[in-house]
Structure 1
Amino acid sequence: MPCALWGVTSPDFDKVEGDLFQFGEDVAFDLLYAKVEKNPAIEVFAAESRLKEAEIRLAQTQSSADISWSVGVRRLQETDDTALVAGFSMPLFSGKRNVGAVSTALAEKNQVLAERDVMLLDLHTQLFRAFHNRKQAIVAVEALRTAIIPALEQALVETQAAYQRGRYGYLDYVSARQELLSARRTQIEAAAAALTYGAEIEQLTAEPLALTQYGEDNTFSGTPQ
C-alpha cells in the first residue's frame, strides 16, 4: 500500500479499518471553493505577488533617489563675504533606466497574477467535477440501499418460493439472485467512487471532510439462498 499520504516510507501499522458507507458531510460548494482559494499552491502565488510589489516599490524609490542634493558655504574673495550655495545632481538617462525596471517588475507581477488565475480556474473545474460526481455517487448508494436492493431481495424471496412450488424455473431463480448480486456490487462501486471523490476534494481544499454516517443502516440485509 502506498505510504505517501502518511508522509512516511514504511508504515508502523499492520492493517487499517474503515466503513465503506461512511461519507463526509455534504458541504456547500461555495464553502469548499473558499478553502481551495487558500490552498498552499495558491498561497505561493500570493507570496510571489507580494515580492513583485516590493520590487516595484524599490524601483520607484530608486527613481526618485537618483537625485542627490548638496548644500555648502562659499567665500567670495572680491568682497570677502560668504554665501550659502545649494545644488543637485542627477545621472543622465537614469529616469529611463528606472522606468524600464518598474515596467519589468509590473509585467512580472501581472504574469504571476495571470498564472494564479489560471490555476484557480483549473482547481475550480476539478472541484466542481469531484463535488457533483460525489453527490451523484452518494445518491446512487442511498437509492440502492433504501429502494432497489430491498425490492430485489423481496423479489428473490418470492421467486425462490415460486421455484420451490414449481411455478418458476431454475433460470428464473438464478436471474433474480444475479440481479440482487449485481445491485449490491453497484452499491459497493458507487460507495467507493463517493469516497474517492471525497478524497479528491480533501486534496484540493487541503482540509479533511468531517465524517458522518450516511443513513441509519448501511449494511446489506438478507442473504441470497
Structure 2
Amino acid sequence: PSAGAKGTSLLLVERGMPGFEKGKRLKKLGMKAQDTSELFFDNVKVPAGNLLGGEGKGFICLMEQLPWERLQIAIGAVAAAQAAIDWTVEYTKDRKVFGQAVAAFQNTRYKLAELQTEVQVARVFVDKCCELVNVDKLDTATASMAKYWCSDLQCKVMDECVQLFGGYGYMWEYPITRAYADARVQRIYGGTNEIMKEVISRAMGLGGR
C-alpha cells in the first residue's frame, strides 16, 4: 500500500525492481513449506501500470476482500480439523494399550465423538457462509464469526488428537504433529481472534472506544 493525497493505493512491487530487497527466510513454528521473509523498500519506483484497483482505492479494495479472506481461513480450519480426526480414528484403531486398541476405551470413543460433532456443526456454518459469499451477501461480522470460531476449534481438535496419539503425537514425522504446529497461526493471521470478537461486538451495536 502507498498513501498519498488521494488516500491509500495498492501497488504491485515485482522482484528485480531497484530498491526492493528480500531479507533472509524467517523460521516459523509451522507452515514450513510456505516461505516468509522481511521485505525492504528503498525509494522503489513502481510503474503506473502496476496500480491495483484504482488510485486512492487501496483501503476499500482490502476491506472488500476481508470477508472472503476470513472465510478461507475458516474453510481451511474445518478441513484440517476433519483430517486430524480421520488420522486419529485410524491410529487409535491400530494402537494397542493394555492389550486392546486405544479406540476400545470409552474415553477415546467419546472424545472423538465430541470432536466430530463440533466439526460437523462448524462445517454447516461454513457451508452457509459459502452460500452467502456466492451471492455477495457475506458481511464482515459473519465472516469474523466463522474465522474465530473455526480456528479456535481447529486448535482444540489438534490438541485433543495429539493427546490421543500419545508420545507419537509429539514426533515431527507424524502428520498430526505438523498439523498441530501449522494450526496455531490460524488464530493470529487474517486478524487475531480478539479483533474478530471486536468486529462482531461492534456489529451488535456494542461500540468500544
TM-score, scaled to structure 1: 0.33
Bigger RCO (CA 8 Å, 6+ sep): 1
When Rg is computed on C-alpha atoms for both structures, the one with the higher figure is: 1
TM-score, scaled to structure 2: 0.35
